[in-house]
Amino acid sequence: MSVLDIHDMTVAYHRRPVLWDVDLVLEEPRLVGVLGPNGAGKSTLVKAVLGLAPMAHGTVRVFGEPVERVRKRIGYVPQRESVDWDFPVSVLDVVLMGTYGRLGWCRRPGPRERQLARECLAKVGMEDFERRQIGQLSGGQQQRTFLARALAQQADLYFMDEPMAGVDAATEHAIFTLLGELRKAGKTVVVVHHDLRTVEQYFDYVVLLNMRVVAAGPTNGAFTADTLRRTYGGRLSMLEAVGDAVEARERA
């Protein structure tokens, strides 16, 4: 049973495909880097798997089941800019949100969840900050808070959308140490990542994306000068043209 099986997935916004015919199978636990230029559809891929972006076509199965049935086993770290950091909640409140999924509707987190949330905060070195309002944190601390929240989800498959955006080198290294531990514990972590220099150091599997999957596979085979050139060497003009045509037809 594969961890993640994306079959022929196309994602379209306003009918215009932005991610074409993605086929991606992760057979075993991996630490996956999703790489590609701006606008390549990296976040879109993650959102479509989670049902947050409209899938025009295709199927996604996680642990052999439809996503809807295994949501409790999937963790998610959205982009840091996607939330309002002035929101009146403390660091501990945010981490506790990680436990909501397992609690289900209407049940409130209790002492057990609090204990778990504190342990997760300690794992990212933020235990002294639990009472702080989240807007008072630095960028790196906010990212760690999000990571602690993901840990509190106790998932088996994680999606993290640019968890390294706006963090210093020390925090980045520490976060990846933690992700490596998750990986060793048999979890799969899919990370949208920007920095090509650190790819070989951090990931054992890469997905190179530019509106379609250019290459996917274990890092030492798929992360080559050739695949990088194909990924970052501009958009495929044909995909642009066909996208334009689809959009124009569907609009008319």
Partner 1 sequence: MIAPHDDLRTPHDDLLAPADKPLAPLPARRDPRGDIVLGAVVIALFVLGVWLVARLPAPGLSWWTVAIAATCSSACGLVGCYLVLRKMSLLGDAISHAVLPGIALAFFVSGEITGVPIFLGAMALGVLTTLLTQALRDYGNVPEDTGMGIVYTALFAAGVILVQVGARQVDLDPGCVLYGMLDMAALNTTRVFGVEVPHSIVTLGIALVTTLAFIAALWKELKIASFDAGLATAMGFRAMLIHYLLMAVVAGVTVASFEAVGSILVVAMLIVPGATAHLLTDRLGWMLAWSVVVSLLSALFGYALSRWLNVNVAGTMAVVAGTQFALAVFLAPRHGLLVKWLASVRLSLRIVGEDVVARLYRHEEAATGAAFDATQGGDGEPQSVWQRWRRSWAIASLVNSGLVRRAADGTLLLTAAGRQVGRSIVRAHRLWESYLERHFELPLDHVHEPAERIEHYLGPELQTQLAEQLAEPEQDPHGRAIPPS
- Contact residues for partner 1 (CB under 8 A)? 14, 47, 50-52, 68, 71-72, 74, 76, 78, 82-84, 87-90, 93-94, 97, 100-101, 103, 105-106, 108-109, 123-129, 131-133, 135, 138-141, 144, 153, 167-168, 170-171, 174-175, 177-178
Identity of the residue, 72 or 194, whose beta carbon is nearer to partner 1 in the bound complex:
72
Determine the distance from the C-alpha atom of residue 234 to the mean position of all C-alpha atoms in its chain, rounded to a whole number.
Answer: 24
Which residues, in sequence order, are CB contacts of 226 under 8 Å at separation 6+?
none
- Nearest distance from residue 67's CB to partner 1, in Å? 9
- Nearest distance from residue 238's CB to partner 1, in Å? 26
- Nearest distance from residue 221's CB to partner 1, in Å? 31
CA–CA dist 174, 192 (Å, integer): 17
Give the pairing type, strands 188-192 and 205-209: unpaired
Identity of the residue, 4 or 215, whose beta carbon is nearer to partner 1 in the bound complex:
4
Identity of the residue, 37 or 125, whose beta carbon is nearer to partner 1 in the bound complex:
125
Length of the chain: 252
CA–CA dist 216, 118 (Å, integer): 37
Identity of the residue, 97 or 199, whose beta carbon is nearer to partner 1 in the bound complex:
97
Other C-beta atoms within 10 Å of 188: how many? 22
- Nearest distance from residue 226's CB to partner 1, in Å? 35
Other C-beta atoms within 10 Å of 28: how many? 9
